[in-house]
Every structure is written in C-alpha cells, then in structure tokens.
Structure 1
Amino acid sequence: MINYRSTLALIGLFLCLSVQNPSHGQIRKTLFIILDGIQRELLEKNPTPSIDEISQKGDYIHAHVGGMRGGYSETPTISAVGYNSLLTGVWYNKHNVRDNSIRQPNYNYWTVFRFLKTAFPHKTTAVYSTWLDNRTKLVGENLPETGHLQLDYHFDGMEIDTLGFPHDNESKYIHEIDKLVAAYAAKDVLEKGPDLSWVYLQYTDDMGHRYGVSEQMNHAIREADKQVGLIWSAIKEREKLYGEEWLLLITTDHGRGEGGFGHGGQSDAERATWIVSSQSLNERAGSIPGVVDLLPTMADFMGIPIPKNQAMEIDGISLLKKPYADRLEGTLEGERLHLKWHDYDSGQKAKVWITTGNQFRFGNSDTYRLVGEVELSAEKVALDLGTIYQNLKVVLELPKGYCNVWVKNIP
C-alpha cells in the first residue's frame, strides 16, 4: 500500500530538483483544473493571488453550465454532469450523465483525452483527482466503450482508502487528499510534463454543502488557490526549462443555490460559473460562454484534429483565435426553417446542413443534407426545405468550426 503521507514529504524534494536536457522548440501542453462548487461571487470576493496572477496573464470570464434552460439540452447543475460536459464538449442530452451515479455515459461522445490519444498516440495524458470515478467512469479508462483508452499517469482513489484517510464529519480528509493531489500533479508537471492533464479538487464543494456562504467556504477557496499556485509554479518552471507553452484552464462545475448550500437546478445562481485562462481569450469570452466551450478551446490550442462527423455534434465553440458566429437558434414552421445567430463581424459565409433522426448516439454517422449558404452578417435566414420535418438537427458550418441546434416543428 502506498504511504501517502510519506509521499507528500518527498514531493517537496522532487519540486526542488533541476530538470535536465531541456527540449528545443516550443511544444504546447494543456492542464485543466476543476475546483468543485465555487460560486462566482465568492471567488471574486476572496483573496486568490495565484488565480489572480494567472488571469492577469490571460483572462478571467463569467461562464455558465446547465445547457438550454427549459430546452432540449437542459442539463442538471450537478458535479459529474458538469465534469462530463467539459470533457466531451456536449450537454446532458448527448453525453447522458445526469447525476453523480454515472450509470450509462454515452461514450460515443468522446472526451478530449480520447481525441488527443487517437490523433497523437505518442502524446501523454494524466488525471490527478480527489474522486476516482473521474478516471474510471467519466474518462472511462480501459473500457471497451472507449476503445480501451489508456492514460499515461494518474493519482487518485485516496478517498476510498479509509485506513489511510479516516472519514470525518468536517471533510478534513478531503482537504488532505486535495493537498496531496495538487502536490503530486505539480511534481508530475515538472518531472514528466504530460501533454494533457486534468486536476480535480473537491474540498470547496464539501464546505459549501455543509456551511453555505461562510468563513469555512472562504477558507476552502483560499486553500484551493494555494493548491492552484503550486501547480502554476510547476508550469512556469516547466516553460522556462523546456521552452514549452502551456494553457492552464481553471473552472468550476456549478454555482450554488440560496445561501450557498445546494445545487442541481436551473436558477441563475446555480447556472453561474467562471473560467480562468492563462492564455488570452477571444471576443466570445464576453458572451458568457458554456463549460462545453473548453473542449474545442483545448483542441484548438493543441492542434487536435476532430473528424467532421464528430465536430458537427460538439456543442461548444473555441474561445481562442478568431470567432465567426455562435448562439445558433432555430424553429420549424411547416416547410420553412428559421435560424438566427450572433455574428462577430466576420464578413464570411456559412453552410447550413440538416439531418433527421440521431444515429450518432448509437455510434453511427448521420447523413446530412446541404440546404443553403448564408451570409453570417445577416444573423438570420428562412430556408424553404420543400417538405415538412417534425425534428431536425441543424449545423451551421463556419469557416472554422461549427454551431449546432436541434429544432422541432411548431404545430
């Protein structure tokens, strides 16, 4: 059995070692952190020097979870649901994780780890987590449904070691595990530099559930910032020694309801989240983007190619480089398809594709029909389809990337 407390003592030593033989040329790497259940107003209220330093280098923006409130993609504001929306770039109606039991994920919607490993088998991946299910169920390591996806490094599962970490009513054991996870992740960043890593820390959510808006929650946020700082220091050292360029993304999985205790519903407070980036973000950052935007952002930064049939299903749009359009909405009225969107002064055209049914969820490809080309500057169009459809998946093919929406015919 691993002696976790002895490991923690060694981590400080490892972080002081010089890394030999720095590589030549700049390589891009990504690490994303989920700090569980930190509502936006408390993050902004508390002193967070490490997060502030990262956001000053890059960006801090308001974001959201929860999908389309009252619509087809409405998504519970629950932890595992939010994690999977980030990992897959799609909402609950596609990835099928509706709560923390994670009963039947639809692995046909790939995680960012699977996209990376499929495109670049030689690149390395890692998960450092205070919850084992993140690796075994959400990422789905070594499952037939994920093509037996293998991670290169992981550090997790301590929460099920009740001898090493006796459970207590104040979640002190979770705090200790969070510290271990962050320190181990920092060590691996410095020593191994995984190309794509996920760090998950839980203690803030526990304090929210127990105490709501409170000094205990404030303290947990400040502790999380220290843990972020340890990882950020390792990234900066790695960049200096190896000439690499890193994207560090930090977010949370949901807001909180009245008093800062619960979550899961669709109130503004439960849907409200935030994103911190070590890289400057594009104009879409001001549109209160969704957690689903982080997968295409990471793919954009890392140059991960996503096949067209899969890219057309992704609900998110990159927050890097030039944006073209977003916020696609649609309705069907008889034989006419009405669409509207937001244009970013692109001066470009886009193609409109439609398909009936949804074979993608079964692992098959849908057959799309091109029904028109639009000027993005018009921000709306009405297309005569020549027949009546009851349901459609609609995709706007942009000069780079896609927007999609599901529509139903109005009786």
Structure 2
Amino acid sequence: DFPDFLTRIEQVRPELSTFAVADWVPLGRSDQGRPTISDAVDVKHVLDGYEVGWAEADARSVQLAVQQLEGSDPDALFVYLGNPDEVSHEHSSIGSEYRGAIALADEHVGILVEAIRTRATYGEEDWLILSSTDHGRRSDGGHGGDTEEERTIYFLANGPSVITGTPPDSIFIVDVAVTALTHLGIQIDPSWQLDGKPVGIR
C-alpha cells in the first residue's frame, strides 16, 4: 500500500491541514478502485480537464489553491496542472505549442508563489515550494516507456530550507514526496518501503 504523500501526512500527523486540486480526474476520483489522492485529504477538488478545457481547468485549479492560501492555514498543498502534458499529446511534439503551455503553467506557478508570499503570516512560516513532473517525454510527445528521456524529470525547490545549487546526486520522481515529508518533520518509516530520498534541503 503506497498512499499519496498527503494521505501519508494525514495518517502520521492528522493535525496538519492538507489540500489537493487536480484536473486529471483519475488523480482524485476513480470508478475502478481507489484514486491516487485519497479522500483522507482535508480539502480535495477534482476538475475534469477534458470537459472544461485544460488551460481553463488549470486556471481554475490555481484559483482554488489561492483561495485556500488566502482563507485558511494549510500545511501541505498539491496542485496539478495538466495542460502542458495534454498539449504535447495533442500536437505529438515538444514544439512551440508545448513551450507555450509550459509558459502558461509558469504564470500559474507565479500566481501560487505570490499567494504564499503575500500571506499575513508568511514571515513566521517555513514554506518549501516544490515544482516537478511525473515523467519526461519523447520528442513526439509520448511517454510511458523506460527510456532515459521518459524517466528524466525536472525538480525545482525554493524556500529557507533549500540548499542552493544543483544537488550532487541524480533526482528521481520518488524523491519528491520524501522531500516534502522530510520538510514537514515526518520521519520516513522503513516499513513504508519508499525508494526516494530527501533532495536539496537542510
């Protein structure tokens, strides 16, 4: 059993406030088995990017996260932006359309960062902002295989606990959740059998 990192937080430190928003439905809702993000998360929003339109769904997801940051005191948030992935699939490339979708996602991240930094209590808080992806992709826009380009992710971290510069070791997708959990002071239990390691933080 490998729950999402927010559910793991709820299991170990239920007093912490968790939030998730995703516009790819299987992440938050499933008719077959359990969704990736469980209902143990305190606040969870699921939008349908196929129904709403991916760019619009991403914008709505960000607005929901901003409202949460402005109106409550979340300890851990997860915001999924699906538009870049879907645009690359639609155009079967990593060309100009894909780069445009990444630029739009960058604007969305900027809105989230601004919402964090303008919190009245920001100076007393210890935020760690992580940005990453769940996979790489081929030049034709596809992914799901075992090639290096499909397994390579980017990893960006910002906050007082971050060690500036490029980490000396390779970074893998399994490191992202472990880094977030470690920042929150959650001891990684060996029985969880997590392959990841904390990356880039003190």
- TM-score normalised over the length of structure 2: 0.86
Q: Does 1:299 align with 2:170?
A: no
Contact 1:119-1:305 within 8 A present in 2 as well:
no
Taking the TM superposition and a 5 Å limit, the aligned residue runs for 1:156-171 are 156-159=46-49, 162=51, 165=52
Query: Residues 217 and 159 from structure 1, CA distance in 2 versus in 1: closer, same or farther, beyond 3 angstroms?
Result: closer
TM-align CA RMSD: 2.2
What is the DSSP-based 3-state SS (H/G/I as helix, E as strand, rest coil) of the residue aligned with 1:294?
helix
* Equivalent AA in structure 2 for residue 125 of structure 1: T
Query: Residues 287 and 241 from structure 1, CA distance in 2 versus in 1: closer, same or farther, beyond 3 angstroms?
Result: closer
Corresponding residue number in structure 1 for 2:63:
183
Corresponding residue number in structure 2 for 1:151:
41
Corresponding residue number in structure 1 for 2:22:
129
Corresponding residue number in structure 2 for 1:138:
36
Query: Residues 292 and 281 from structure 1, CA distance in 2 versus in 1: closer, same or farther, beyond 3 angstroms?
Result: farther
Give the counterpart of 1:234 among 115, 119, 136. Answer: 115
Contact 2:4-2:38 within 8 A present in 1 as well:
no
Give the counterpart of 1:309 among 178, 187, 191. Answer: 191
Corresponding residue number in structure 2 for 1:272:
152
Rg bigger for which structure? 1
Aligned residues: 194
Unaligned runs of 5+ in 1: 1-107, 142-149, 166-172, 323-411
Corresponding residue number in structure 2 for 1:119:
12
What is the DSSP-based 3-state SS (H/G/I as helix, E as strand, rest coil) of the residue aligned with 1:189?
helix
* Equivalent AA in structure 2 for residue 179 of structure 1: A
Question: Which structure shows the bigger proportion of residues in strand conformation?
Answer: 1
Taking the TM superposition and a 5 Å limit, the aligned residue runs for 1:8-407 are 108-136=1-29, 137-141=35-39, 150-159=40-49, 162=51, 165=52, 173-211=53-91, 212-238=93-119, 240-241=121-122, 243-257=124-138, 259-279=139-159, 280-281=162-163, 285-310=167-192, 313-320=193-200
Q: 1:202, CA displacement in angstroms?
A: 0.7
Contact 2:20-2:77 within 8 A present in 1 as well:
yes
* Equivalent AA in structure 2 for residue 307 of structure 1: D
- Counterpart CA distance in 1 for 2:130 and 2:59 is 19
- Counterpart CA distance in 2 for 1:239 and 1:302 is 21
Question: Which structure shows the bigger proportion of residues in helix conformation?
Answer: 2
What is the DSSP-based 3-state SS (H/G/I as helix, E as strand, rest coil) of the residue aligned with 2:41?
coil
**Poorly superposed stretches of 4+, deviation over 4 Å:** 239-242
Q: 1:205, CA displacement in angstroms?
A: 0.9
Q: 1:277, CA displacement in angstroms?
A: 0.4
Contact 1:238-1:244 within 8 A present in 2 as well:
no
* Equivalent AA in structure 1 for residue 47 of structure 2: G
Q: 1:185, CA displacement in angstroms?
A: 0.8
Unaligned runs of 5+ in 2: 30-34
Q: 1:214, CA displacement in angstroms?
A: 2.0
- Counterpart CA distance in 2 for 1:282 and 1:217 is 28
The Cα offsets for residues 360-392 of structure 1, whole Å up to 9 and x where unpaired, read as xxxxxxxxxxxxxxxxxxxxxxxxxxxxxxxxx
Corresponding residue number in structure 1 for 2:32:
none
- Counterpart CA distance in 1 for 2:190 and 2:105 is 38
